[in-house]
A and B are shown apart, each in its own frame.
Chain A
Amino acid sequence: MPFSIPEQELMEPGHTACHGCGATLSMRYVLKALGKDTVISVPAACWAVIPGAMPNRTLDVPMVYTPFAATGAVISGLREAFDIQGKEDFNVVGFAGDGGTADIGLQSLSGAMERGHNVFYFMYDNEGYMNTGVQRSGSTPYGAITTTTPIGKDRNFKKQNKKVVADLMMAQGVPYVATATIAYPEDLIRKVNNAKKINGPKFIQILSPCPVGWYFPPEKSIEVSRLAVQSGIFPLYEFQNGVLKVTKQPRPVSVREYLSMQNRFRSLDEDDIKKIEKYAEERMEYLIGKEKETQSS
């Protein structure tokens, strides 16, 4: 059987990620696509502890730890410094969680993208502050229970829709924007390879299920990731040269099935589920509309 993704491993075993960690697979795939001439910058995040405590490292490429809000600025500085030294072929990569991207890091991300540095920014989206114990982020979806949107006496949950950073990046005019998830590593790697061809900022949002924070058994990480796409909850798309393409069509899998796999959605009643179904439909319609609009122009 030929390997469907590159054999090269730049993430070593022995790291301290939780059982079934989606964020860890995201890193493994991204490095397979990027190769050895890569520098990764990681802010406060699960990925700041996954390599383990000093003196351990788990990546076979340099990894620069930074404060929470700094990823966009740090990759800007690294890129320019490498260019000065004639290392234009080095991949400079930001690899941040959704809190570090959608919330505290949004300003420096937006600045870096606007300035147009030749960098990659990967947002591994586990839909909450998982490293600090499952708090709500801007990227947490409507309906999720977190430790800061606890169930309480009124069957509470997060009442606001997910802030989709990839959509923001598209609106900002970032030359390459894509969404991906760990159930489809071939698709993710293909997108990274497409992104490589662009001399400018690249943004890829990778849905990275978190068994601990989404309350599902660790063996289900890939399954949950797959259902997120098949149910239309997390559409996979690619936006380059001003053209949007939906890269995986949803299959007839119900939103309800996706939600019921995860205990974080246990507060939801029928009306709430319908609301989420409607949200997924509308988002898909928006993307398909945008696909038609951009492909025809």
Chain B
Amino acid sequence: MILAPLADRSSRANHTDSWRILKPEIKYDKCIRCMICWKFCPDNAFTVVSGEELESPNPRVAALEAPVIDYDYCKGCGICANECPEKCIEMGIETKMVI
């Protein structure tokens, strides 16, 4: 069998959580589910979930799909927090040590 330089494994196998120094956290009570954080994430580290799983004070907002951070891939760049129009993403210190 000839060996050609082919790469066929999805990079999902490569978790980048250890890159994180700052950790974003979405405050869903303030989130209007505009998806701007999802839109601007260079690491594609958001998943979109049915909003009913998450609490929201406003039932109309609660019916919308919502962004959830996938901490296996988030590198903590902070674009989401910087771009959030409601300022409902807080950047905290990552305390989990990955060795």
Contacts and interface: CB of A to CB of B under 8 A. Distances in A.
B59 interface: no
A219 B35 contact: no
B26 interface: no
A1 B61 CA distance: 8
A19 B11 contact: no
Contacts of A1: 32-35, 64-65
Interface stretch (A8-16, A120-128, A263-271): A8-16
A1 B76 CA distance: 25
Contact of A56 (B14, B65, B79): B14
Contact of A14 (B5, B13, B76, B82): B13
Given A55-B7, A56-B9, A14 B34 contact: no
A84 to B, nearest CB: 22
Contact of A4 (B39, B79, B91): B39
Nearest to B15: A14
A185 B83 CA distance: 14
Interface string B41-77: 0111100100000000000000011000010110111
Interface in A1-30: 1, 3-5, 7, 9, 11-17, 19-22, 24-25, 28
B81 A12 contact: no
A220 interface: yes
A220 to B, nearest CB: 7
A20 B77 contact: yes
B95 interface: no
A35 interface: no
A51 interface: yes
A171 interface: no
Contacts of A5: 39
Contact of A217 (B13, B65, B78): B78
Nearest to B42: A24
A135 interface: no
A12 B7 contact: no
Contacts of A218: 77-79
A20 B78 CA distance: 8
B12 interface: yes
A57 interface: yes
B49 to A, nearest CB: 13
A14 B73 contact: yes
Given A51-B7, A55-B8, A219 B77 contact: yes
Interface in A132-187: 182, 185
Nearest to A25: B42
A58 interface: yes
Interface string B10-21: 111111100100
Interface in A189-223: 211, 217-223
Nearest to A59: B11
Interface centre among A9, A12, A13 (most CB of B within 10 A): A13
Given A14-B13, A221-B42, 4 more contacts: A1-B35, A12-B44, A14-B12, A218-B78
22 contacts: A1-B32, A1-B33, A5-B39, A12-B10, A13-B12, A13-B45, A13-B73, A19-B77, A20-B78, A20-B79, A24-B42, A25-B40, A51-B7, A54-B5, A55-B7, A56-B9, A57-B11, A218-B77, A219-B77, A219-B79, A222-B79, A222-B82
Interface of A: 1, 3-5, 7, 9, 11-17, 19-22, 24-25, 28, 51-52, 54-58, 182, 185, 211, 217-223
Interface of B: 5-16, 19, 32-35, 39-40, 42-45, 48, 64-65, 70, 72-73, 75-79, 81-83, 91
